[in-house]
Every structure is written in structure tokens, then in C-alpha cells.
Amino acid sequence: MVIVDGREEEMQEPVGCEERIFVSVRLRPLTDNEIARHDVCDWECISDNTIIYRKGLSVSEKSMYPTAYTFDRVFSSDCPNRQVYEEGAKEIALSVVRGINSSIFAYGQTGSGKTYTMTAITEYAVADIYNYIQRHKEREFILKFSAMDIYNEFVRDLLSADSGPLRLLDDPERGMDVERLTEETLRDSNHFKELLSICEAQTQIGETSLNETSTRPHQILKVTVESSALEFLGNDKSSTLVASVNFVDLAGTEGVSQKSSAGARLKEGCHINRSLLALGTVIRKLSTGRNGQIPYRDSKPNWILQSSLGGNARTAIICTMSPARTHVEQSRNTLLFASCAKEVTTKAQVNVVMSDKALVKQLQRELVKLENELRSAGTAPTSSISDALLREKDLEIEKLRKEVAILTQQRDLAWSVVEGLRQAADNESPRDEKTGKAGSDSQYPKLRVRDRDSMDFENSTIVRPVLTVGVRCRSPSDRQSFSSEENFLQLPDFKLTIPHASVSSPQLSPRIPVSVRTTLLQEEDGDENSEGPCKEVCCIDSKSSMNIYPDLSFSESCPKIPQCNSSFPRESSAIPGVIEVDNEETSKQESKPFHLNKNIWIEKVEEDDSISSIQNAEDFTRRPSNFHREFSPLKFDHQREAEELSRNESPNSSITATVNKLNTQRSLNGSQSSLTSAAGWSVPIPENQSSTGGSEEMSSNLNYEKQLADYVAMNSLPDTYGSSSAWPSEFKRLQREIIELWHACNVSLVHRTYFFLLFKGDPKDYIYTEVEHRRLSFLKNAFTNGNQMVENGQVLTYASSKKALRRERQMLSQRMCKRLPQVEREKLFLKWGIELNAKQRSLKLANLLWSDCKDMEHIAESAAIVAKLVGFVEPEKTFKEMFGLNFSPGQHT
Ligand SMILES: Nc1ncnc2c1ncn2[C@@H]1O[C@H](COP(=O)(O)OP(=O)(O)OP(=O)(O)O)[C@@H](O)[C@H]1O
């Protein structure tokens, strides 16, 4: 019994407790086509609950399939619709008049009788609802009707011919809601029939090999019933029962044999199968208990029907199947689905909407109750309840105190780093404009890369690049010191100064071995202080090699005022740095083409350089304060191709060479300089000499960068996250949102692919994922507000990003012919619903890649294809820092 509107309502339904989904199976008769083919019936309903496979199983099949299946109800092929309704759906459908949500689903193979069954059930149920209304004159009823279908993941309004695709919204109060869905108030049952015929006219019908009039979309008809007792209408006892019943005719599952259909039908088939697979996954997960997250959002039907699948609704599923031998495989799949579904439970509740007056009264009652409780707590402070409450509050306060302490510590740390950086920048001794020499006199000779050209390996096919280091000698003793390779390799601690360069952490980036040619140069004029012409005294080819991290990038400008330094102590090669000496033999296999094309200055580290105190490369917070990390070039297996893509200006494939270009332009503009946080993230800040600092766009970019930097400084706690059990689900959420943002911002497919394949939920990747998310949100916001961004020195708008993405897709389509053998291409075309004789097949496929941001299977497949096309085969060899924490929104990675 439930009290509604001040009276007792009799409820047959189990309310508030768990109830299993009611699952029935309906066998249809053989169709004319099946009979003409001399197909035979292999299935038989031997009782009201059991269906068996008559043919008998072979020995090998016995271990795989049961012979008999039991459900709440099975209907043989001669059962009329009325009986199916009465015994398989009526009770649950009519719960709606008592304020309980309900859903009736039809699931089964294409052509198995879903529409045949659901059409009848819907009509019978609505007729019964009107009968109920007739019999309950004491209540006022309002019936509303809406209808939608989901076709290739687009939701359509069946009552409005020109509504376009509808969005799904998460309403905190109403739950999932379909935006702008038409809801008609029903006048009577004839009006309902009229509306049904409108829906029918709109429904997409197609011909499949099994059904000439196959309903291709998933169709959901929804009847909402609101009722209030007339007796209490308008007074403070009145309340309204509101509930909906969904009649769901799912699209038919298709087996491999039906895949002979081609073109649009095949594409539909793929979508249908994918969404039914997602439904199956939800049902399977729900049937095995509710451990972990249920992927309701993986497909739109799941999302829309979430409350019917394990939520606050009563649910009946009617699984329809053909008895024909030719469809045995599909029939077994249907029965498997039905078996899982019968394990799923829901928890139905009566939905009562109270009148405002009733609500106020109830709240007043609650208030009085709380006040009484408080009063009694005040008079009896020693009561056990208040003691427990106090203890709880104390614990909470203690916890908050600890959090505040940690946050304060982090803030202080961040400030001290910023302060240190500022000082480092202030203390930087300016170089002489003419000579480029360091201001302080070094007791060691300056090592200089002598020949720019020898370091330009852009078009080189050599396996191991040679870095020629010229040693400029200023005194005979210097010459002595560096006249042998051994001596060169035993250089004391020294510092590598790279103007406007960026360096990344060695833990994450692979190193590139570079053979060293040390060339001893002698000043021609003998003037120790000048940098005049030199003559080569001797040249030593190193047997060993230096490892250079490939994400070094160099600016065009001369090293007059170094923008950042990177230092490393000779003793500790594991410490973040740039160069270390390695045995040639061990590093042979790592050889890769390498780009290095500007000046490098090497000089001795000052005694008091803070770097000497750094011992632990793992310790993020103790990295050298002047350690600068930025975007590093993407290293595909095929570097040249990566560049080809980046030259094509596809946004964010530009995380390759274009990054260097950007760095160069920035430094030339002098518009920004970089500060580096303790964690090594570069934070561009406006400089006094900024020439473009006034522009609105730039200031918005900088504002963003600062915000992000602050955010990172306070949130970079990968270790903490590592121990948190919340991270995996948080990662999934972020990943999904990032994918949607990529889609919304037209981000390069290559970029998406790399990110997707590299970041798979390792807690250490927290910060990358978070930064990517923030950066994209910012970008999307900018696009939405019609703002422009700067990327690679070029203005980026939504339109230009779209254009660039189109070009990237064209580029990928061209790759398909080059990269994929014909057989593989054809397989892909078929899989992606593209006819083998269609024009521009490759472009069609390229256009489909990454197009469905809701479908994770689609995303994974797209990533695999793009990876193949760009030669990204070994994620573990790619360094994650290419998604550098460079907060320039221009590089919206
Ligand atoms: N129980 C039944 N008794 C008689 N005929 C049936 C029965 N079930 C289905 N049929 C007939 O089988 C054909 C296919 O049925 P229906 O269109 O309902 O299949 P479906 O499962 O909805 O297919 P699709 O998923 O392709 O839309 C129709 O001609 C229908 O009249």
C-alpha cells in the first residue's frame, strides 16, 4: 500500500525493492521466403518457460551451447499478439498509471518480428491506459506522447519533420533529457493513432536480405501519464503522479551473412551492431553485479534508456527470434542476450510530484523536527548522538587542516621556484652583442659548434649524425687540455647554453646518439679575447658518442641574450640534461635521423651553480630551476612524413617541426619569454620588451597560460593520484571529454592518435591528461566566442582549424594508397561501410576517421589506422613530453 493524495492506493508492483527485468522470448513462424528455401524449424517451446534446440547438439557444440533455455515466458510461433502483450508486457506497461516508469523492449535479429510485436503491444497498452482512465473517474489524467528514433547515433524527433538531430542533456533533476523533443498532449486514443501514423511515415525503412520493410533506426515511443486526485486538486494535500512508459523497438541485429548488404545499408548495419553491442555490454555488466562503471554513455540508446536498464523503472524485454535453421547463430546470440538480461535488476519507485502547498507543509514539518532535535542536543550535550557528531566534526576539521597545510606547502614551493627563476633571469650575465661571449670569464675554453651546416641533418639519410664541436683555444695549456678525445670526454662539469632552446626530461625522451668530432681550432690572430677566424689544428673523431635528446630545438637568433639554459653535471649522467657520453656499441640500435641546426654554446658550470646540488633525477620538484621544457618535435618512424604533415598545417600535427618555428618566431618577436616552474613546465610570461603585448588576443593567451601554470603548480601530484582508486574512472571521464573536445576544436587527427595511444590511464599521466583537457576547453571556449588564437604565428580560427583538418584528412587519404596494401584497404572499406567501387574511397574513409567521438571502439580503430598511416608503431618509444606542458594555447595539443 502507498499513500497518495491522502488516500491509500493499492500497488501490485514491487515498489522500492529490486526486481528482475521480465524477459520473454517469442518465436515467429517461418516466413514465406524461409519456407520457399526449404528451411526447417529448429526451435520449439516445450513449456511456458522453456525453449529448446530440437536438432540436437554435436559433441563439440555441447560444450559451447545449452540445448534448453528458460525464461520468464516463452511464446511459440502460433501465439497471438494479444497473448504476448497480456503475459509478457501488460503488467509492467500499466505500472505507468500508478506513477512508476516502465519500458518494454523488443530485441532480436532483423526480420525476427520486433516491429510486428511492438506495434501491437503499444496499441494494446495505450488502449488499456485509456480503459484505466475510464474506470478511475476520481482522478484527473493527462497523457503526453513523444517519439524519437536513433539512426546512426543521431537522435531524431518523429513528431517534427524538420527538427534535425537532437542533443541529449543531463538534467540534474529530470535525469537524461532530449533537447527540443516534441511532446504532444493526447486528446484521446484517436489522436494517439494519428500521431502514430505520423511517426510511421517518418520512420526510416530499408530492405535487408531478411526483411523487405526493415526498421533501420532504434525507435522509442514514450507515453507520459500524469494523474492527480480530483478530491484534493488545488489544496495542500494534492500531489501528482508522473511516470512514462517507453515502447522500444530496437534495430535488428545482423549476422555476418547479412553483411552482404553494401553501401548505406552496410554502414547502418555497422552502427546498429555497434550500438547493440554497447547495449549488450551494459546488460552483461549489469547482470554480473554493478561493479565498476556501466558504460551507458557509449551509445545513445543506452544513454536514453539508462533508467530502464538497471535504474528506477520496471522493464520487460521481449526477444524475438526466427525458428529457421539458417539463423541458428543469430538465434543463439539473442538467447544469450536474453539470458544476461534476466539477471539485471531494477528498483522501481513511485514518482510523486507534490503541489507547492504540500511541499511547503512537508518542509515545515521537517524544520520543526530538526529544531526539536537541535534543542534536545543542546540540553543533553553528553548524549551519545551529539558526542558522535562532535567526533565526526573534529575529524573533518583535522582533515581540512591537513589539506590546508599541504596546499600552503605547495603554494610556498611554487612561489620559491618562481622567485628563484626570477633571480636566475636577473643574474644572467648579458653577452657581448658582437662576440656572443659570456660576461663572466671562464677558466675553461669555450666549446663551440663550429659548423652550422654540419649539424643540419634535415635531409640527411645518415644513420648517425656527427656533431662537430670546435674547441677554440686561447692558450697553449687549453690546447694541451683538449688535444685528445680522452680529454674532451673528461671535461669537467660544464653547462650547455642553448639560446631559446627547449629541453625535455631524459626519463621520458629517448636519446639520440651522435658521434662527436672534436676539432681543435686555433685563433688565427692569437688574440685570446677575440672570436676571429680560426684554423683547424687537429680533428678527433670520437669512438664514443654523445646522446642528445631529440627534443632540443633551436632558434634562428644569435645567442646574444640566452633565454634559457640547461645545465648538467658531468658526473651524473642520469640527471636531466642534454648531453651525456655513451658507449657507441650500446647505442647503435637507437640511431635515428636527427635535426639539429643552430648554434650551441658549451661552457663550464659556475661553482655556485644550483645544479650541482641536484642529485635525484626522479625528483620533479628538485629539477634545476632553469630547466626548461617545451613541446618537443614528434618523432614518427618516418620523420620526413611527419614533417610533410606538419607542413600541411594540419593543426597539431604541427607538434612536429612547426613548434621550433613557433619558438623561433616568438624569440624573434621578443614578445614573450619563458619562466620555468619547478616541475619543469614552461610558463611564458610577458616581457618588458614585449612588442605585441598590447593585443587583446595575446593578453587572453597569456592570461590563460598563467591560469594554467597556476593550476599545474597546485595540482601536479601524480604520485598522489597514483595511489588513488578514483583515477581510472576519472581518466576515462577526462579521456571521453578530451575526445569530444578534439572533435569540437578540429584538432589534428595525428595529434589525437598520438595522445590516445600514449596516454592510457597511467596515474603518472594525470597532468598531461588534465592539461590537455584544460587547454582544449580553453580553445573551445575561444572558438565558441568567436575569438582568434595564434598558432605557429598564424591566426587560428574555428574555420581555419576546420580547413586544416580537411587538408589533413586529404593527406591521410593519399597515404592510404601508399601505406596500405590493396587487400588491407579493401577490408577497411568494407568494415567502414564504403563500397568497393565507390569514388574517392580513401577520402571517404579518411573523413570517417575520428568522426564519432562517442564510440570508443570507433576511436580505437581510427587511432590504429592513423597510426599505421603515419608510421607510429611503437608507443613505448615515443616520449610523452611531445605533449609538452607548454601552455601556449596556440599549440592546442
Ligand atoms: N509472430 C509472427 N507471426 C506472423 N508473422 C510475423 C511474426 N513476427 C514477424 N512476422 C512477420 O515477419 C516479417 C518481419 O517482421 P518485423 O518487420 O516485425 O521484423 P523486425 O524484427 O522488426 O525486423 P527489422 O529489425 O529488420 O525491422 C514481417 O513480415 C512480419 O509480418
Given ligand 1 and candidates 39, 208, 211, which is best to mutate, with the most ligand atoms within 8 Å of its CB? 211
Q: Could you tell me the three cell numbers for 841?
A: 574511397
pLDDT at 563 over 80: no
Distance in Å, CA 90 to ligand 1 centroid: 21
Q: Which residue has the higher pLDDT, 24 or 441?
A: 24
> Cβ contacts of residue 192 below 8 Å, gap of 6+?
126, 143, 145, 186, 223
> Cβ contacts of residue 773 below 8 Å, gap of 6+?
734, 737, 738, 741
The residue whose CA is least distant from atom 8 of ligand 1 is: 113
* 50 known ligand binder: no
Q: Name which of 620, 601, 511, 609 is nearest 568 in CA terms.
A: 609
pTM: 0.45
Distance in Å, CA 115 to ligand 1 centroid: 6
Q: What are phi and psi of 7, to 5 degrees?
A: -125, 160
Question: Any idea which residue has 606547502 for its cell?
Answer: 409
Asked if 583 and 478 touch (Cβ cutoff 8 Å), the reply is: no
Give the nearest ligand 1 atom to 119 CA: 18
How far apart are the C-alpha atoms of 454 and 456, rounded to whole Å? 6
Given ligand 1 and candidates 33, 83, 112, which is best to mutate, with the most ligand atoms within 8 Å of its CB? 112
Confidence band, pLDDT 50/70/90 cuts, at residue 17: confident
**How far apart, in Å, are the Cα atoms of 829 and each of 228, 257, 581, 852?**
57, 17, 49, 17
Q: Name which of 625, 620, 701 is nearest 425 in CA terms.
A: 625
Distance in Å, CA 214 to ligand 1 centroid: 9
Given ligand 1 and candidates 115, 117, 203, 210, which is best to mutate, with the most ligand atoms within 8 Å of its CB? 115
β partners of residue 820 = none
Asked if 790 and 891 touch (Cβ cutoff 8 Å), the reply is: no
Given ligand 1 and candidates 31, 35, 116, which is best to mutate, with the most ligand atoms within 8 Å of its CB? 116
Distance in Å, CA 193 to ligand 1 centroid: 21
The residue whose CA is least distant from atom 15 of ligand 1 is: 113
Asked if 639 and 457 touch (Cβ cutoff 8 Å), the reply is: no
Averaging pLDDT over each range in 146-150, 302-306, 397-401, 663-667, which range is the top one?
Answer: 146-150
> 261, exposed or middle or buried, with CB in 10 Å at 0-12, 13-18, 19+?
buried
Q: What are phi and psi of 380, to 5 degrees?
A: -125, 70
Q: Name which of 706, 703, 687 is nearest 787 in CA terms.
A: 703
Q: Could you tell me the three cell numbers for 436?
A: 656572443
**How far apart, in Å, are the Cα atoms of 644 and each of 445, 456, 640, 815, 871?**
41, 18, 6, 11, 13
* 110 known ligand binder: yes
Distance in Å, CA 116 to ligand 1 centroid: 5
The residue whose CA is least distant from atom 9 of ligand 1 is: 113
Averaging pLDDT over each range in 219-233, 733-747, 772-786, which range is the top one?
Answer: 733-747
Q: Could you tell me the three cell numbers for 638?
A: 618516418
Which residues lie with the beta carbon below 6 Å from any ligand 1 atom? 28-29, 31, 108, 110-116, 208, 211, 213-215, 251-252, 320
* 113 known ligand binder: yes
Q: Could you tell me the three cell numbers for 340?
A: 544476461
Give the nearest ligand 1 atom to 249 CA: 22
Distance in Å, CA 302 to ligand 1 centroid: 24
Comparing 26-35, 471-480, 822-831, the range with the smallest average pLDDT is: 471-480
Distance in Å, CA 211 to ligand 1 centroid: 8
pLDDT digits (tens, 9 = 90+) for 624-682: 333 232 322 233 333 344 444 443 433 343 333 333 333 333 332 333 332 222 222 22
> Cβ contacts of residue 720 below 8 Å, gap of 6+?
none
How far apart are the C-alpha atoms of 679 and 682, rounded to whole Å? 9
In the chain, DSSP finds a helix count (H) and a strand count (E) of 25, 33
How far apart are the C-alpha atoms of 137 and 778, rounded to whole Å? 57
Mean pLDDT, range 270-280, rounded to an integer? 73
Give the nearest ligand 1 atom to 320 CA: 21
Average pLDDT, the chain: 65
> Cβ contacts of residue 54 below 8 Å, gap of 6+?
41, 42, 43, 44
Helix or strand holding residue 403 (H, E) = helix 384-427
Helix or strand holding residue 469 (H, E) = strand 466-473
* 891 known ligand binder: no
Q: Name which of 43, 121, 61, 57 is nearest 85 in CA terms.
A: 121
β partners of residue 224 = 144, 244
Asked if 110 and 258 touch (Cβ cutoff 8 Å), the reply is: yes
CATH pick for 2-354 out of 3.40.1180.10, 3.40.850.10, 3.90.1150.10, 3.30.565.10: 3.40.850.10
Q: Name which of 626, 859, 849, 603 is nearest 755 in CA terms.
A: 859
* 495 known ligand binder: no
The residue whose CA is least distant from atom 11 of ligand 1 is: 113
Quickly count: other Cβ atoms within 10 Å of residue 781's Cβ.
13
* 535 known ligand binder: no
* DSSP letter (8 states) at residue 93: H
pLDDT digits (tens, 9 = 90+) for 840-874: 888 999 999 999 988 999 999 999 999 888 877 55
pLDDT digits (tens, 9 = 90+) for 51-82: 998 877 777 777 777 888 999 999 999 999 99
| Stated length of the chain | 893
Asked if 208 and 200 touch (Cβ cutoff 8 Å), the reply is: no
How far apart are the C-alpha atoms of 590 and 466, rounded to whole Å? 15
Q: What is the pLDDT of residue 71?
A: 95
Question: Any idea which residue has 518480428 for its cell?
Answer: 113
Domain ranges in the chain are 2-354, 447-628, 654-884
